Homo-oligomer: A and B are copies of this chain.
Amino acid sequence: MVMVDVFRALDDETRRTILDELSSHDGQTLFEICSILAMRHNLSLTRQAISQHLGVLESAGLVATERRGRSKFHHFNPAPLAEIADRWPIQKRIQ
């Protein structure tokens, strides 16, 4: 997979939704992510499409993977987002 920067990785709503899901339920497999996107987000994408999205996120460093047996678990890593905060002023909105 070609290296991808954090900006490109974030420029897709499906990938952003995947990050949302991983940040609330860490360590999911590809099939788990597929069914959650289908169930909770009405996203009817093929497994391959999701897999490619995960590949982009991983190549940007936003997702780390760990393989055990047949399964591959995906973890959200927010560290690369620092590139944005390093570059421009960014602030959380008050709730």
Contacts and interface: CB of A to CB of B under 8 A. Distances in A.
Interface of A: 7-8, 10-12, 16, 19-20, 23, 76, 78, 81-82, 84-93
Contact of A86 (B8, B10, B93): B93
Given A7-B16, A10-B10, A85 B92 contact: yes
B81 A92 contact: no
B82 A88 contact: no
Contacts of A81: 84, 88-91
Nearest to A22: B88
A83 to B, nearest CB: 8
8 contacts: A7-B11, A7-B16, A10-B11, A23-B89, A76-B88, A78-B91, A82-B91, A82-B92
